């Protein structure tokens, strides 16, 4: 365990830990703006909408003679169906409440994805074994190029969040004032959703599509217990996400039977529960 935390458990394990830390930081930063804009359910819909894209991406790659496990190909398929799911939610919200539209899209796409994965398991083509790990995440046996892709993707999202921090903060704090200053809240929301989608795609192998939502939301609500400014919330949320990703990946490397995603999410929840107890206890004593 200590070797994994000190990046001495092997080259691949070190890459995975660094990649998970960057993913956690990106998820925490994006999640802070997402929760402040009250769009957390949208991330849930996007995450579940990736599942049919993963299955379809696998089938397309197998049809072209591959084994179906090329990560960028799976991510491309996931991105297409997640974008379709986001579009469907936006269309449905014209006639339905947002939570009802989100729930309908989430359930429909996820059910379709489960059907596709079931069909894939019965085809006997490609390399479908372990494909279901995208549900809960698993870093065991992750290839070097996959770990590099995860770390690089997380770093790019962090860089984009840093570049957009001021307009995103203004839109999250006061959309009306942002509009008066020439900013388009709709454009900023679209940019934020694109970054959240990138986090969801990058996190497929680490936390899985089901638990990535927890990594987006939990560090943000934990940070909100301690700070009130938008920039402070985003910074602390990113730090919490990075710590959970790094420590969770190290624990998973030390105990290979433990799935990475649940460990990371449990660490995030532990941080939230501890913060809630400390803040509640402090107010009670005051």
Q: Sorting pLDDT into bands at 50, 70 and 90, what band is 27?
A: very high
State how far the alpha carbon of 194 is from the alpha carbons of 43, 64, 99, in Å: 10, 29, 20
Query: What sign has the CA pseudo-torsion 154, 160, 165, 167?
Result: negative
Helices 40-63 and 185-202: crossing angle in degrees, nearest 10, is: 50
Token pair in block for residue 74: 């799976």
| pLDDT for 285 beyond 60 | no
Q: Which residue has the higher pLDDT, 208 or 106?
A: 106
Q: Sorting pLDDT into bands at 50, 70 and 90, what band is 4?
A: low
pLDDT value of position 20:
86
- Mean pLDDT, all residues of the chain: 83
| pLDDT for 284 beyond 60 | no
Token pair in block for residue 141: 């046996």
State how far the alpha carbon of 74 is from the alpha carbons of 61, 251, 279, in Å: 9, 26, 42
- Contact indicator for 143, 7 with CB cutoff of 8 Å: no
> 98-139, pLDDT tens digit by residue?
788 888 888 899 899 889 888 888 777 777 766 766 766 666
User: What is the fold of 2-277?
Assistant: ABC transporter involved in vitamin B12 uptake, BtuC (1.10.3470)
Q: What angle do CA 167, 223, 233 make, to 5 degrees?
A: 20
- Contact indicator for 31, 235 with CB cutoff of 8 Å: no
> 140-190, pLDDT tens digit by residue?
566 677 778 888 888 999 999 999 988 888 887 777 888 888 888 888 888
State how far the alpha carbon of 140 is from the alpha carbons of 119, 146, 163, 203, 229, in Å: 25, 12, 34, 14, 38
pLDDT value of position 236:
94
pLDDT value of position 102:
85
DSSP letter for 73, please: H
Percent of the chain scored above 90 by pLDDT? 20
Say how far apart CA 257 and CA 176 lie, in whole Å.
50
Give residue 227's region: left, alpha or beta (phi > 0; psi -120 to 50).
Answer: beta
């Amino acid at each position: 365990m200590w070797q994994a935390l000190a990046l001495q458990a092997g080259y691949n394990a070190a890459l995975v830990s660094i990649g998970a830390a960057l993913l956690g930081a990106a998820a925490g930063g994006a999640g802070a703006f997402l929760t402040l804009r009250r769009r957390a359910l949208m991330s849930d819909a996007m995450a579940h909408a990736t599942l049919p894209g993963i299955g379809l991406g696998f089938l397309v790659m197998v049809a072209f003679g591959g084994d179906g496990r090329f990560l960028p190909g799976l991510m491309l398929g996931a991105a297409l169906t997640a974008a379709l799911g986001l579009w469907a939610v936006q269309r449905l919200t014209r006639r339905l409440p947002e939570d009802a539209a989100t729930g309908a899209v989430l359930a429909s796409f996820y059910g379709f994805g489960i059907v596709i994965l079931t069909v894939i398991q019965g085809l006997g083509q490609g390399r479908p074994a372990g494909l279901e790990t995208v549900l809960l995440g698993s870093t065991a046996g992750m290839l070097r190029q996959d770990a590099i892709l995860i770390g690089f993707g997380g770093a790019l999202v962090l860089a984009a969040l840093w570049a957009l921090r001021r307009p995103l903060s203004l839109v999250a704090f006061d959309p009306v004032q942002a509009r008066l200053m020439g900013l388009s809240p709709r454009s900023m929301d679209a940019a934020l959703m694109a970054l959240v989608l990138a986090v969801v795609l990058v996190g497929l192998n680490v936390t899985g599509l089901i638990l990535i939502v927890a990594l987006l939301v939990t560090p943000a609500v934990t940070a909100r217990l301690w700070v009130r400014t938008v920039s402070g919330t985003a910074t602390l949320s990113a730090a919490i996400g990075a710590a959970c990703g790094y420590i969770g990946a190290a624990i998973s490397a030390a105990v290979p039977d433990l799935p990475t995603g649940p460990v990371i999410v449990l660490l995030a929840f532990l941080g939230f529960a501890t913060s809630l107890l400390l803040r509640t206890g402090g107010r009670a004593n005051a």
